[in-house]
Amino acid sequence: MIKDFFQRIAYLFLRLFVFLLSLIPFEASLRLADGVGLLTYYVWVSRRKVTLDNLRKAFRGKTEGEVIAIAKESFQNFARVVVEFVKIPSVFHELDKRAVKYGEDIAQRAFNGPKAVILLISHLGNWEIIASFAWYVKRPSHVFGKPFRNPYIYNYVKRVRSIAGTFNLDAVKGIQDAIHALKRKEIVGMLIDQNAGARGIPVEFFGRPAMTSSLPASLAYKYDCVLLPVFCIREGCGHFRLYAKEPVPVSRTGNKEKDIYETTRRINMMMEDEIRKYPGQWLWMHKRWKWKPSYAPEVKKDAWILEKDLSHPEAKNVEAEKQGKGDRV
């Protein structure tokens, strides 16, 4: 009862924030977001440390000044994403003017083809606007999203996303819904650049093993889907470049586990290449390299081995995280 009360209060504060932002012009609100993002960089010490550590290890050739500049831009980009998300209901009709689209031929070829399409999405630029891809082709789309602890705020987020015709799938319980959607040739989007914990497989990302979701590769392998990378890069104040890249090839050698690993590796390589082009627009404050199986000395160690080798001490950590008791980012 008390928990619900405070959740409702938090939701009311959110709606007040949304109302106040609605009184500010779009471009002015983004300049305000830049200031808030910079302030957050200095105030949120723990995430600043994570950000700087991630950047130093990912870009060993950059100076400390360059690393700090990228970190500040990353915080500002995240603040802008929050403001832009809140503003989506009022500016969605302006997306044609604000988002220059590239690779439409690639996207249309994938959408109009005989196979279902899985959108590969990263926390680069503004990932929320990528939902407009589905709006342009007038097809139902679904995106995996981690449920919020506050159900009132979570429902608000789902309502905003639905404006572009995108339906939210529970990141834990929505796999069957995603499979049904793919069988209907609908679009399924997946944010695949975050730490997958015990559910992932260790695959190299920026030179280090990172627990990566194998779900896109597994679904593409089993249901013969197209893996279409899509990005929304920021270009100036309130303007974006929305583009698709050539689909990631799905490995098919006959060895299922190796094929899923290889496809996941290709996805990570593709994502890394794009992030390197726009490092200040990626979410470096996320603990991407946090969870690693202690008995997987080589990157090619697959999650299926973690599943099967329940006699190993690390298996307890796997089971604990599956039950929601393990470390979370």
Q: Which two tokens stand for residue 231?
A: 């990005």
Pick the CATH number of 93-322 from 3.40.1130, 1.10.3470, 3.30.1330, 3.40.50: 3.40.1130
Token readout for 243 is 């583009």
Band (pLDDT 50/70/90 cuts) for residue 131 is: low
- Give the Cα-Cα-Cα angle 124, 126, 128 (nearest 5 degrees): 120
Find the mean pLDDT for residues 322-327.
44
pLDDT: which is higher, 139 or 133: 139
Q: What predicted TM-score, i.e. pTM, was given to this entire model?
A: 0.84
CA distances from 56 to 39, 67, 234 (A): 21, 7, 23
Per-residue pLDDT at 309 exceeds 50: no
Residue 7 in tokens: 């959740």
What's the pLDDT at 96? 72
Dihedral angle of Cα 73, 75, 76, 82, to the nearest 10 degrees: 140
The confidence score (pLDDT) of residue 162 equals 81
For the cut 50, the answer to whether the pLDDT of residue 324 exceeds it is: no
DSSP for 107-118? HHHHHTSSS-EE
Confidence of residue 135 (pLDDT cuts 50, 70, 90): low
Pairing outcome for strands 187-191 and 117-121? parallel
Residue 239 in tokens: 């303007």
Question: Among 139, 124, 130, 191, which Cα is nearest to 161's?
Answer: 130
pLDDT at 304 over 70: no
Of the chain, the percentage scoring pLDDT greater than 90 comes to 56
* C-alpha span between 89 and 76 (Å, rounded): 22
For the chain, domain boundaries: 93-322
Total number of residues shown for the chain = 329
pLDDT of amino acid 270: 97
Cα separation, 70 vs 75, in Å, equals 9
pLDDT, residue 141, reads 83
* Mean pLDDT, range 153-164, rounded to an integer: 85
Q: Pick the more confident residue, 197 or 28.
A: 28
Instruction: Show the tokens assigned to 52.
Output: 């700087």
> Judging by DSSP bridges, how do beta strands 226-234 and 240-244 pair with one another?
antiparallel
With 80 as the cut, is the pLDDT of residue 314 above it? Answer: no
**Beta-strand pair 166-170/117-121:** unpaired
What's residue 31's pLDDT? 94
Segment among 107-111, 201-205, 315-319 with least mean pLDDT: 315-319
Q: What's the pLDDT tens digit per position in 160-184?
A: 888 767 888 877 678 888 999 999 9
State yes or no: pLDDT of 280 exceeds 60: yes
DSSP 149: S
Task: Give the integer Cα–Cα distance in Å for 307 and 310.
Answer: 7
CA dihedral 75, 77, 82, 83 (to 10 degrees): 120
Question: What burial letters (b/e) apply to 38-57, b meaning 16+ CB within 10 Å?
Answer: eebbeeeeebbebbbebbee
Tokens 């992030």 belong to: 275
Cα distances (Å, whole numbers) of residue 268 to 75, 191, 249, 262, 316 = 23, 12, 13, 10, 27
287: phi then psi, degrees, rounded to nearest 5? -85, 70
Residue 107 pLDDT: 86
> How many Å apart are CA 109 and CA 278, to the nearest integer?
26
pLDDT tens-digit series, residues 192-228: 999 998 889 999 999 999 999 999 999 999 999 999 9
Indicate whether 306 pLDDT > 60. no
pLDDT of residue 165: 72
pLDDT confidence of residue 325: 42
Give mean pLDDT, residues 186-193: 91
- H-run or E-run covering 274: helix 256-277
CA distances from 41 to 103, 145, 156, 323 (A): 34, 25, 27, 33
pLDDT of residue 136: 62
Phi (first) and psi of residue 143, to 5 degrees: -135, 140
